[in-house]
Amino acid sequence: MNNDEPLGGDVNAVLSIAEERKKEMRDNWSARLTSLAETRDKAVFASLFDYFAPRLKAYITRLGMPPATAEEVAQEAMLSVWRKAHMFNAEKASASTWIFTLARNLCIDRMRREKAVEYELPEEEPDPEQRDQGEHLILEERMRDAIATLPENQAQVLHLSYYEGKSHSEIADQLGIPLGSVKSRLRLAFSKLKAHWGEEE
Amino acid sequence: MNISHHFDDATLMAYASGSLPQGMALLVACHLHWCPHCRQRLAEAEAIGGALLAQIEPMSLKADALKSVMDRLDLEEEIPLPQIRPVQTATDLPAPLHHYLQTNLDHLPWKRLGYGVHHIDLNLKGPGATRLLKIAPGVSVPHHTHAGNELTLILRGSYTDEFGRFSAGDVADLDGEVKHQPIVDTDQDCICLIATDAPLKFTGLMGRLVQPFIGL
Ligand SMILES: [Zn+2]
């Protein structure tokens, strides 16, 4: 919890207002991305760029790309956001999850130096429990909070896997632990995070 | 398709984080093509990536980055990436593998490995090996253990081992100390895609089969 949280008064009310505001913020990213597809409004794109491009650059850098490449791929990823905005579906993912997958795919292509090919998945059957846009945002918010509460050794393997793109074997070598321990830590982390995901149902 | 064996959570997390070797990623994509259950689980694993992206410490871009990208928006023609659509062809292969092989299982240049066993090396880059294996009815693969991770996707036919019965669409997601002895349990060949991440030597199902015959 932040140290600058006001003391006294109704702390819970203050917290829930802060939560609401954070949620609205993120609500905006998914809503803005959806509207970008419809309006092709460059001001909307610029606001998405301001928020996501520096995060993408940080992510790509941690994946091990040299700084100049990270800069270039971050810009390329934002161009993909512009090009592919019509493919974003707020019922399936939040804006940051969708943008994460775009950047991840670009990085994989870079590393393999191969022509980018995407395998389009079959259209899903209409899901009676389809989540609406707001739900994804709440879930993501919860997931972020839950990540912060993971034990250090689980957070560590999560970061090495997602931020640094290390394989299970590479993580095992780096930490000097058996492959099985890497996987069981990841599984434990996933099941904790999934518990938050499932709470809505 | 009636799928009863799925990926380990850790495998889907590796796929979501982009850290799987190419062959294993291809195999995961194939199963995802067939399995709505794992697609849902993958969405959860990707949401972890989304949450991590949102909370990463941002890093400034060059001062003119926004401007140079904005300039490119106008020049942007619609150059969509090639999309591999899941077309229903005469093939029983999942689209990603069909795209890779460009033919179906019956027209492949199978190479004989030994009694009742044929294979094809997909020659993918990266650590590990990715192969198609065709095992004749009644043939049993000797007891073996795995070093590293080994994924098997059944494409046609079925086999039974200590973990149960595996038929088309099922995956066996095994690692480390696992010992098993699959036996093809119908009168049809069992064809599977196998991908490992073992960097140095072939191990597991493939190793036992391949090593004695080609002396790897
Ligand atoms: Zn599955």
**Domains, chain A, ordered by start:** 20-119 (1.10.1740.10), 129-201 (1.10.10.10)
Listed as ranges, residues in chain B with pLDDT below 50 are: 199-204, 210-216
CA of A122 to the centre of ligand 1 (A): 14
Work out the pLDDT band at A108, boundaries 50, 70, 90.
Answer: confident
Give the predicted TM-score (pTM) of the model: 0.84
% of chain A surpassing 70 pLDDT = 73
Helix axes A95-112, A42-62, angle to 10 degrees: 50
In a domain, B204, yes or no: yes
- The answer to which of A43-52, A61-70, A161-170, B203-212 has the lowest mean pLDDT is B203-212
> What DSSP assignment string belongs to A162-174?
HTT---HHHHHHH
Q: Mark yes or no for CB contact A183/B50 under 8 Å.
A: no
Cα–Cα distance for residue pair B96/B175, rounded to 1 Å: 24
Classify residue B63 by its DSSP letter: T
CATH code at position B124: 2.60.120.10
Among candidate residues B181, B115, B109, the one with its CA nearest the CA of residue B144 = B181
In a domain, B150, yes or no: yes
Q: Domain tally for chain B?
A: 1
Q: Mark yes or no for CB contact B48/A193 under 8 Å.
A: yes
In a domain, B74, yes or no: no
Q: What is the pLDDT of residue B50?
A: 94
Cα–Cα distance for residue pair A90/A26, rounded to 1 Å: 12
Which of A42, A45, A121 is nearest residue B33 as measured by Cβ atoms? A121
In a domain, B62, yes or no: no
Q: Mark yes or no for CB contact B99/A117 under 8 Å.
A: yes
Output the 3-class SS for A14-72: HHHHHHHHHHHHHHHHHHHHHHHHHHCCHHHHHHHHHHHHHHHHHHHHHCCCCHHHHHH
What residue in A sits closest to B84 (Cα-Cα)?
Answer: A119
Mutation target vs B (from A162, A164, A171, A188; most B CBs, 10 A cutoff): A162
Enumerate the residues of chain B whose CB falls inside 8 A of the CB of residue A102: none
Q: Can you tell me the ipTM of this complex?
A: 0.83
Q: What is the pLDDT of residue B155?
A: 96
CA of A92 to the centre of ligand 1 (A): 18
In a domain, B155, yes or no: yes
Q: Mark yes or no for CB contact A190/B13 under 8 Å.
A: yes
In a domain, B83, yes or no: no
Q: Mark yes or no for CB contact A120/B176 under 8 Å.
A: no
Domain that holds residue B177: 1-55+95-216
In a domain, B122, yes or no: yes
Which of B18, B33, B81 is nearest residue A165 as measured by Cβ atoms? B18
Percent helix, percent strand, percent coil in chain B, to nearest 5: 35, 25, 45
In a domain, B128, yes or no: yes
